[in-house]
Amino acid sequence: MTEKFTGNFTQQEPIPDAGIAAALAVLQSGRLHRYNVAAGELGETALLEQEFAAYTGAKYCLAVASGGYAMATALRAIGVKPGEPVLTNAFTLAPVPGAIASVGAKPVFVGVTESLTIDLDDLAQKVTDAKVLMLSHMRGHLCDMDRLMKICDDAGVTVIEDCAHTMGASWKGVPSGRAGLIGCYSNQTYKHMNSGEGGFLITDDEEVAARATILSGSYMLYERHLAAPSPEVFERVKYDTPNVSGRMDNLRAAILRPQLRDLDTQVQRWNDRYRVLEDGLRNTPGLTVINRPEQEVYVGSSIQFLLLDWDPDKVQEALSRCAARGVELKWFGGAEPVAFTSRYDSWRYADSVPMPKTDRILAGIVDMRVPLTFSLDDCALIARIVRAEVGAVWQGA
């Protein structure tokens, strides 16, 4: 009998009981707004910021409405102006160039390697074109952060890290988000902590932190933050920093705090599943597994592989055959955006020029979510199905 997978690729685990209890307490209090706290009370959002700052080793942390808002706020906080070019990955998701466009700046795309990381040779060529790099650790792949930071530091380029897929990851022991000036994270449902929507911004720069806090809509209530600069820093910037409200609320923070305490355990669980999939896919004819560098601690909440130089119809056939057996794969090589997949030439609000080396890689990227609701046996089954169907198409069966 042909094996078939019957699981759900979008089903997340339930919110932990401690998070549900904390959320109920917030609901019962009626004080959902982060600044609506009782006398002497430390709000859930302020406590979450303090805890996430400690987790990452950052001086300052701001909890906001989404990862995309965190990125746009980071750009505003460092003074990016309309019309200014901002470097970013050609292989990323739409919220990254969207954040750049939202402040009126212009994305300048940098290529991708077969490791699915930013092409550092291409970056070295383009680094003189801008003063800011919005570095996307797309689908959880970390590049050589030492070399990247040297390229950018030598050119005077400020690095903002999009860590939507790397919360809990690190490069040579440095947490993702801590190499650049600012790290931005997402708590959207499919990320590593789930509050439906939400995000963080971390930095060691006191003025950036103060500006970001005012931008998020703190009014003059910034003294209620626990992971923020001193009031004197806010006094320097409060009159020329606009309010672009995008605060996190106490309800979402209450849901997230227990998840943060469990994050390292969850990372291990994701990686257990990732390795089963990786081992099962390795040596499949026509399929390239992405090898992870030793310096990287990754979070395997999704897995990618390459069908390099395949005819597009053959890629589509392989995906259709997998789908018929219950395995949902996404392809970044399609001519039109589908679901969350899109390419740099899909974002027509941003000028771009053809990038043949990058286009070849994008045409072969296949992506799959790895929810923690999958068992290790589920992952082994999925790998057998993909191996069989990709192999059959490759061999012309």
CATH number at residue 32: 3.40.640.10
**Separation in Å, CA 308 to CA 290, 362, 365:** 12, 9, 8
2 in any annotated domain: no
User: Which percentage of the chain shows pLDDT scores above 70?
Assistant: 99
pLDDT value of position 131: 98
pLDDT(365) > 80: yes
Rounded-to-integer distance, Cα 391 and Cα 372, Å:
27
pLDDT(275) > 60: yes
Tell me the pTM: 0.97
What digits encode the pLDDT tens for the residues 128-178? 989 999 999 999 999 999 999 999 999 999 999 999 999 999 999 999 999
- Assess whether 237 and 267 both reside in one domain: no
Tally of domains within the chain: 2
pLDDT(205) > 80: yes
What digits encode the pLDDT tens for the residues 48-107? 999 999 999 999 999 999 999 999 999 999 999 999 999 999 999 999 999 999 999 999
User: Which percentage of the chain shows pLDDT scores above 90?
Assistant: 92
pLDDT(203) > 80: yes
8 in any annotated domain: no
Any idea what DSSP says for residue 127?
Answer: G
Q: Which domain holds residue 329?
A: 263-394
Rounded-to-integer distance, Cα 65 and Cα 45, Å:
11
Beta-carbon count within 10 A of 351 CB:
11
- Assess whether 335 and 382 both reside in one domain: yes
Residue pair 7/376 in contact (Cβ under 8 Å)? The answer is no
272 in any annotated domain: yes
Q: What is the mean pLDDT of residues 266-284?
A: 98
- Assess whether 270 and 179 both reside in one domain: no
CATH number of the domain encompassing residue 379: 3.90.1150.10
- Assess whether 217 and 278 both reside in one domain: no
Final residue of a structural domain among 261, 292, 309: 261
Burial class (CB in 10 A: 0-12, 13-18, 19+), 94: middle
Q: What is the mean pLDDT of residues 347-351?
A: 90
Partnered with residue 89 across adjacent β-strands are: 110
pLDDT(2) > 60: yes
- Assess whether 136 and 33 both reside in one domain: yes
- Assess whether 307 and 249 both reside in one domain: no
pLDDT value of position 333: 85
- Assess whether 220 and 271 both reside in one domain: no
Final residue of a structural domain among 261, 287, 310: 261
4 in any annotated domain: no
- Assess whether 208 and 111 both reside in one domain: yes
pLDDT(397) > 70: no
pLDDT(1) > 60: no
Final residue of a structural domain among 261, 288, 316: 261
SS3 323: helix
pLDDT(374) > 70: yes
For the chain, what is the mean pLDDT?
Answer: 96
- Assess whether 223 and 340 both reside in one domain: no
Q: How distant is the alpha carbon of residue 140 from its chain centre?
A: 7
- Assess whether 172 and 59 both reside in one domain: yes
pLDDT(385) > 80: yes
- Assess whether 145 and 286 both reside in one domain: no
pLDDT value of position 63: 98
106 in any annotated domain: yes
Beta-carbon count within 10 A of 104 CB:
12
- Assess whether 334 and 278 both reside in one domain: yes
7 in any annotated domain: no
